[in-house]
Amino acid sequence: MHEAAPVNPWVALAYLVAGVCFILALRGLSSPATSRRGNRLGMIGMGIAVVTTLVTHVPGTAICISEECSVGRFDIDWITVVEILGAIGLGAVIGLVTARRIAMTAMPQLVAAFHSLVGLAAVLVGIAAYLNPGAFGISSLVVPMIGQPFAVINPVAKVEMALGVAIGAITFSGSVIAFLKLNGNMGGKPILLPGRHGINLGVLVGILLCVAVFAHGQDTWPFWTILVASFAIGFLLIIPIGGADMPVVVSMLNSYSGWAAAAMGFTLGNTAMIVTGALVGSSGAILSYIMCRAMNRSFLSVIAGGFGATDSGGAGSGAAIDRPWKRGSAEDAAFLMSQAEQVIIVPGYGMAVAQAQHALREMGDKLKEHGVRVKYAIHPVAGRMPGHMNVLLAEANVPYDDVFELEDINAEFAQTDVAFVIGANDVTNPAAKTDKTSPIYGMPVLDVEKAKTVLFIKRSMGGVGYAGVDNELFYRDNTMMLLADAKKMVEEIVKSIE
């Protein structure tokens, strides 16, 4: 590692407190009941880290406990201070406006967009460090026998810088593609390039070779080649991944953004960035692995760009099946559920699009007044990002004790009178268990078809799920389709129950 300036003990303590806050924040975010506290702890930790960094890095404001460095310590560079505060203020305004205006349905693409900004920030810091290494303390002065002295970047710092730029660039371009897919600007189906695995492997090997050449030489071309190739590989890795795997992609890109920040932390000699980046990177990687297991996907194949993806297969062709099905009304649904002993509600992305979570909670409350047990079943990848449905239900003040994960509630469907599915397509499709040609085959799904009656809210019979797979559950004898806007249908059901 390049030689760093001595760290003031108070600065180290502040960064330690910030790191503890980040760890406690992650622990708090593991449960809806403690998520608010987790968010607050994360904000406190980030505030401590930002203030400490500003105080110790703005010229003339560095904290010092020795008499030798006390002279001129209050000679503040106000131009730099104004520039920094202006950038922070601009970012704060953009973040505040975005947070107030963004719809919950757009949260997945917002998260992808934020990941891209983290990656871009890492790239820009790496470029700045490469162009002006002296300002970052990563260069050494070489005095040749003949000629003028010149500065060279330390080899270890070059490796740190190259890795930070590479991971940041992959995060940026990959997140842009994820944003476009989640926002509907690109289709949810995998885009498969001929020979994509060989291309990806070749580009990755080329990046590693350029890192080695860059670390031991003085040429400029390896650095810029690393940058361009990394932007390209981020694009190539994400476009082959289909819509069904997008929640894993969002989590994976979150991990990449953390590792990019950690790598830049080494370049900047900033302990807080290293700790925070490592926490985000490791937690994102663990979450991605857990979600891959929940979907029966290979973790390595997903991060390698959907290694097993194909553009063919059974119901995955995208067209809805032309088979007989039963249509019901709000009155039918209200009668069946009010007479039931237990109703399990299965929310999906359709609920998010219709903003039906508040009406859904009201329906659950009305059913409870009739003596019905009401539970909510959450699939790990329902929605477009990890925890999407949990966030929406928490926003509607659905009791945490009523919400169950797949492995905790799947066995109860066989003893349930009514399974009420609201816009959850792929995660309830029995084809995942029976059709080996289906793109979602092998993915654990909610066993809603085992309930005595399945009520399925859908806008129309013409569409398919985000994975491009028609749901054979629609055509089961015990399924009644409720074709309408989810929020409007639930509100009509509430009136009928009353």
CA-CA-CA-CA dihedral for 191, 192, 194, 196, to nearest 10: 110
Which residues in the chain land under pLDDT 50?
A: 1-4, 61-74, 307-308, 310-317
pLDDT recorded at residue 50: 87
Report which of 486, 162, 227, 449 is spatially closest to residue 353, judged by C-alpha positions: 486
Is residue 34 in a domain? no
Report if residue 85 sits inside a domain.
no
Query: In terms of domains, do 253 and 114 share one?
Result: yes
Q: What is the rounded distance in angstroms from the CA atom of residue 273 to the CA atom of residue 460?
A: 48
- Looking at residue 138, its pLDDT comes to 81
Q: Do residues 329 and 395 both lie within one domain?
A: yes
- The phi and psi torsions of 412 (rounded to 5 degrees) equal -85, -15
Residues 305 and 243 in one domain: yes
Query: Is 139 within the bounds of a domain?
Result: yes
Q: Is residue 332 part of a domain?
A: yes
Does a structural domain hold residue 476?
Answer: yes
CA-closest candidate to residue 294, choices 234, 386, 380: 380
Number of domains in the chain: 2
* pLDDT value, residue 362: 95
Same domain, 224 and 339: no
Packed helices 196-216 and 221-238: angle between N→C axes, nearest 10 degrees: 150
pTM of the model: 0.75
For the stretch 111-150, what's the b/e string if a residue is b when 16 or more beta carbons lie within 10 angstroms of its beta carbon?
bbbbbbebbbbbbebbbebbeebeebbbbeeeeeeeeeee
Quote the pLDDT of residue 1: 45
Do 306 and 337 belong to one domain? no
Q: Say if residue 369 is in the same domain as residue 489.
A: yes
C-alpha–C-alpha distance, residues 367 and 360, integer Å: 11
Do 214 and 272 sit in the same domain of this protein?
A: yes
Q: Are residues 340 and 484 in the same domain?
A: yes
Residues 339 and 243 in one domain: no
8 Å CB contact between 456 and 346 = no
Residues 6 or more apart whose Cβ sits within 8 Å of residue 275: 15, 18, 19, 22, 265
Residues 307 and 330 in one domain: no
Per-residue pLDDT at 206: 93
Identity (one letter) of the amino acid at 239? Answer: I
Domain presence at residue 56: no
Question: Domain ends where: 311, 329, 359?
Answer: 311
Question: What residue numbers bound the domain in which 185 lies?
Answer: 104-311
- Which residues have CB under 8 Å from 87's CB, separation 6+? none
Under 8 Å between Cβ of 28 and 20: no
Query: Does residue 30 lie within any of the structural domains?
Result: no
Residue 3 to residues 6, 69, 92, 217: CA-CA distances in angstroms?
9, 19, 34, 20
Q: Which of 75, 311, 426, 477 is catalytic?
A: 426
Q: What does the pLDDT read at residue 141?
A: 64
Is residue 367 located within the same domain as residue 469?
Answer: yes
- Given a contact cutoff of 8 angstroms between Cβ atoms, the answer to whether 380 and 290 are in contact is yes
Task: Flag whether 49 is in a domain.
Answer: no
State which of 311, 332, 358 marks the end of a domain.
Answer: 311
Residues 486 and 359 in one domain: yes
Active site residue 426: yes
Q: What is the CATH number of the domain that holds 417?
A: 3.40.50.1220
Residue-level pLDDT at 374: 95
